[in-house]
Amino acid sequence: MNFKAFLNTFSGKAYTMPVVILYVTEGCNLKCLSCSYRLPMPGELTLSEIEQLSRELKAFGLKHIVYSGGEPLLRRDFRDICSLFAEIKVKQTLLTNGLLLLKRAEEFNGVFTEIIVSLDGADAETHNRLRGVNSFDLILEGIAKSRSINAAPQISIRTVLQKQNFRQLHGFIELAKQTGVNRISFLAADVQSEAYGRDNLEVRSQASESGTMTLDNNEVQELKKIIYDVSQKYENEFASGFISESPEKLMHIADYYSAINGNVEFPRNFCNAPMVSAVITSTGDIHPCFFLPKYGNLRENKFNELINSASIKKTRSSVKVMEPDRCKKCVCTLFIPPRAALMDRF
Ligand code: SF4
Ligand code: SF4
């Protein structure tokens, strides 16, 4: 039982912080059209700073660390970082573009509970074009390698469905089945926020430029038809959770693009990310989630000084009623129901 986490779900105050997403680096070895992360930020948190942070997080009830970036596997001391969190006995998940899995999977044997690999195309041509680097084949080899190691983690594919790949929805599901991963999940492209390095205005306008990623009205209708077909064909895969989202949830992706075109309201979101999690960047900034602005820096204040500052408590209260505009248009929500929090399901 986790009564503190249960209380978090009702309150602007954090009694504990069970989930932390840590960007171990903001350097990346791909060149996605929708993201400007390329080189590491100057002054990344050092291993000893991360060690100190791991103790502070443990003291505040950390249960699950999710490594993100940039590309975490690019960081040379990433294995040492994982050892720090293994010592405090928390669940570890890796979000990766998969390019270095083939080379480094063995090194991480037994470390991760889950590896989530991003794929933007169901074929090499589409994926490589959207990701800016010939990486598709190497990523599939990396997935196979990760599945073959002794203590193989759960492996998931995550795909951003957008204008240039939505017609491959069947193909993505078939690919996931062929690769033997445990599940596949889909989300819409975030074209509105400054996340994913899009405080870089050039990349931001490139990503949101009409016709680049978002679907026009005809394409929205086409996507709805494809989702309907998929829901008929893959009934078992939906029922088993192999496809993470329900058909209704997939329809929300079409509705999101329809809302961007001004036709309907954005689908109603439910999210309590700031109540149960925090995002920490490679230079120690702390955010309520991937999208909302930072509320401090861990080089200036300790974690437990920041986690209940007046500004984040105010943010939590406003997220609770989905007040921020970003929340209304968000593509990547996190909702831990109070009961799941009580049962410590992080
Ligand atoms: S979206 Fe991910 S894989 Fe692509 S450039 Fe950005 S950090 Fe790298
Ligand atoms: S809805 Fe999105 S922007 Fe709002 S708190 Fe949740 S993750 Fe952040």
pLDDT digits (tens, 9 = 90+) for 265-274: 998 899 999 9
Cα–ligand 1 centroid distance for 261 (angstroms): 26
Among 283, 284, 287, 298, residue whose Cα is nearest residue 44: 283
243 Cα: distance to centroid of ligand 2 (angstroms): 23
Predicted local distance difference test score (pLDDT) of residue 210 = 44
pLDDT recorded at residue 198: 44
Cα separation, 13 vs 313, in Å, equals: 6
- Among protein residues, the one with the nearest Cα to ligand 2's atom 4 is 327
**What local confidence, expressed as pLDDT, does residue 204 receive?**
46
What is the whole-number distance in angstroms between the Cα of residue 34 and the centre of ligand 1?
8
The response to whether residue 269 sits with its C-beta less than 6 Å from ligand 2 reads: yes
Q: 153-167: b or e for each residue (b if 16 or more CB lie within 10 Å)?
A: bebbbbbbbbbbbbe
User: Which secondary-structure segment (H or E) carries 256?
Assistant: helix 247-260
Q: Is the CB of 312 under 6 A from ligand 2?
A: no
Pocket test for ligand 1, best of 26, 32, 200 (most atoms within 8 A of CB): 32
Give the residues of the chain that fall short of pLDDT 50: 198, 201, 204-205, 208-210
The residue nearest atom 7 of ligand 2, judged by CA position, is 333
Could you tell me which residues come within 8 angstroms of residue 243 by beta carbon, excluding any fewer than 6 positions away? 173, 183, 184, 185, 186, 234, 237
Residue nearest to atom 1 of ligand 2 (CA): 327
Q: Ligand 1 center to residue 99 CA distance, Å? A: 11
R_g over Cα of the chain: 19
Ligand 1 binding site (Cβ under 6 Å of any ligand atom):
28, 30, 32, 35, 37, 69-71, 97, 196
Tell whether ligand 2 has an atom less than 6 A from the beta carbon of residue 319. yes
Q: What is the pLDDT of residues 3-32, one digit of tens each?
A: 999 999 998 999 999 999 999 999 999 999
Are the beta carbons of 12 and 43 closer than 8 angstroms? no
What's the pLDDT at 239? 98
For tokens 């069947």, name the residue: 170
Task: State which of 24, 29, 30, 127 you would mutate to test the pocket of ligand 1, scoring each by most atoms of that ligand within 8 A of its C-beta.
Answer: 30
DSSP letter at 187 equals: E
Q: Which of 295, 318, 332, 335 has most ligand 2 atoms within 8 Å of its beta carbon, as the pocket-test mutant? A: 332
Which of 101, 131, 136 is the best mutation target for the ligand 1 pocket, counting ligand atoms within 8 Å of the beta carbon and taking the most? 131
User: Quick check: helix, strand or coil at residue 19?
Assistant: strand
- Measured by CA distance, the residue closest to atom 7 of ligand 1 is 70
| 330 CA distance to ligand 2 middle (Å) | 6
Is 318 close to ligand 2, i.e. is its CB under 6 Å away? Answer: no
